[in-house]
Structure 1
């Protein structure tokens, strides 16, 4: 599905011109599989950090073209990503793929407009993008984000589609409500590399913005795929069959304990302070994100 206007910029408020290219940082990329390059972001809260990226960014090089998956949270980070790509290849960048609407994953898209790619996202992405982008822009107010302008998608994935970079098919799958309402994964068939976006967190506390039960169901689908490695939205690249094991234990335990709190008539605010605190030492940013997860899960599960 194509939107009628390509590369539409939603300019929100008065935005100062972007910094000069000399201020663009250098980012390092690891070749985690042949032709698959990843930069691992810092595990930090985007709205309090003074820099970026805090999410993982990936690009895949085929014989004819390049696809980028998630571009960071600012034009500055996007510029650094583009510079990193150009150190490795001069092939055209034909697709910039956004795994979901959270700003740490797509506000770097602006840096790729002159490359003239398709900006690809889940079919439900535009509605949430329009609803949330103003709030995100208001909160991203450190100098690092000066000049950043969000970019609307130009190609939407409703169920599944395949793009070919030249002997390099990538399977793009639009998932049911899980981490968000619009999670999109990318599977590189050639190397067995699965890029999940925030359907998988490593070390960083998972953040629930969609459906807890849906997330557990989608995780089962991902675990059944013939992947050799998984690039999560946050944290280190995973290999082997247990990539999702720790996160699944957290989400399953969250569901179990929230249901128990509801049955005991424990109110939602008390539950957010008491449910599953036993896992606090296993995850980073736990105190920031876990109470929100409890509240989100409570609202979902109280109507079962």
Structure 2
């Protein structure tokens, strides 16, 4: 165990340091008594607003609002991105958007299958809600379990909430594609790795890139549907967009909005450390209990949802690494 810890510490010292991002104080002040999320849209570019969730883990104190939702008020109408963790969130999101613009909402996009991306859909009845084909299949398959978990974690914030998957499927075979919506030129494309279907939106008019769960900033990434190799490849594709200058402002679904590739590099750094830690531990024959006691490098220690999210990832994925090592031919 001592040799493993030393190895991990050395790898942390030798690896490139992750970019540091300033985490602003929470924009909203949720009121548990009134069940008011206190949603406050913040303009980040022309016609573009983000409603920022807390950089944290799910809790009743924050109403389980840890996601960044957004909307683009084009000259032809409004495009909404993600609808939050509950019916209440969706209703309050809708009112918050109406305080900014009275333009009609054309459609709502969900960037992946996780519950805080679509559990507010009940509030958007009558408006097209769209997601990739695989995301909708996942919403339908796991919606009941999501609801059970969120009711347990979030309590009264979930009153009246039901899993309401996106209604319209976006065929991945039609992507990537560019659409002109009013005065904004928007590009949609499918990546994967955080989930089996990760929808990404780039607004070429403003340079704002909505990365969904592929990028986490100042927060430990969640990995229940991860494919680590595919995720790294998707991060490479996103970095190319940033390096080309097409994307400048990055809106992750979890963590602060930022300029450039800092959040992307944080996510890559974490995934590399996590997978190498599990591989090394499996090769040394450590059990899960020993791996759960592995200290994290200092650069990750202050991130939100630490160590809970790390422990979830290790508990889910470490047995797979053990099995691979056991199945490998003896050297």
Q: TM-score, normalised by structure 2?
A: 0.78
Residue 45 of structure 1 deviates from its aligned partner by: 2.7
**2:57 touches 2:64 (CA, 8 Å); kept in 1?**
no
Aligned with 1:284 (options 304, 308, 322): 304
Greater shift, 190-199 or 247-256, is seen at 247-256
More helix by share: 2
Residue 186 of structure 1 deviates from its aligned partner by: 1.1
**1:273 touches 1:291 (CA, 8 Å); kept in 2?**
no
Aligned with 2:188 (options 163, 168, 172): 172
CA distance in 1, matches of 2:314, 2:236: 22
1:198-228 per-residue CA deviation (whole Å, 9 max, x = no partner) reads 1111122111121122211111111111211
Residue 149 of structure 1 deviates from its aligned partner by: 2.1
Aligned with 1:247 (options 257, 267, 272): 267
Q: Confirm whether residue 125 of structure 1 aligns to residue 145 of structure 2.
A: no
Name the counterpart of 1:233.
253
**2:118 touches 2:166 (CA, 8 Å); kept in 1?**
no
1:25-48 per-residue CA deviation (whole Å, 9 max, x = no partner) reads 541111101011001101233265
Residue 107 of structure 1 deviates from its aligned partner by: 0.7
Residue 300 of structure 1 deviates from its aligned partner by: 5.0
CA distance in 2, matches of 1:130, 1:182: 14
Name the counterpart of 1:17.
none
Matches within 5 A, 1:175-190: 175-176=191-192, 178-190=193-205
Greater shift, 265-274 or 57-66, is seen at 265-274
Name the counterpart of 1:18.
none
Greater shift, 145-154 or 71-80, is seen at 145-154
CA distance in 2, matches of 1:65, 1:103: 26
Q: TM-score, normalised by structure 1?
A: 0.84
Aligned with 1:270 (options 252, 266, 290): 290
Q: Confirm whether residue 154 of structure 1 aligns to residue 154 of structure 2.
A: no
Seen in structure 2, the aligned counterparts of structure 1 residues 89 and 133 have a Cα distance that, compared at 3 Å, is same
Unaligned runs of 5+ in 2: 1-33, 326-331
1:89-109 per-residue CA deviation (whole Å, 9 max, x = no partner) reads 121111111111221221111
Q: Confirm whether residue 100 of structure 1 aligns to residue 115 of structure 2.
A: no
1:72-113 per-residue CA deviation (whole Å, 9 max, x = no partner) reads 111111111111111121211111111112212211111111
**2:144 touches 2:163 (CA, 8 Å); kept in 1?**
no
Aligned alpha-carbon RMSD (Å): 2.2
CA distance in 2, matches of 1:75, 1:50: 15
What SS does the corresponding residue of 2:262 show, helix, strand or coil? coil
Q: Confirm whether residue 222 of structure 1 aligns to residue 244 of structure 2.
A: no
Greater shift, 188-197 or 152-161, is seen at 152-161
**1:211 touches 1:300 (CA, 8 Å); kept in 2?**
no
Q: Confirm whether residue 211 of structure 1 aligns to residue 227 of structure 2.
A: yes
1:240-279 per-residue CA deviation (whole Å, 9 max, x = no partner) reads 2433112211111112221111211223443233264655
Aligned with 1:30 (options 32, 35, 42): 42
Seen in structure 2, the aligned counterparts of structure 1 residues 26 and 275 have a Cα distance that, compared at 3 Å, is closer
What SS does the corresponding residue of 2:157 show, helix, strand or coil? helix
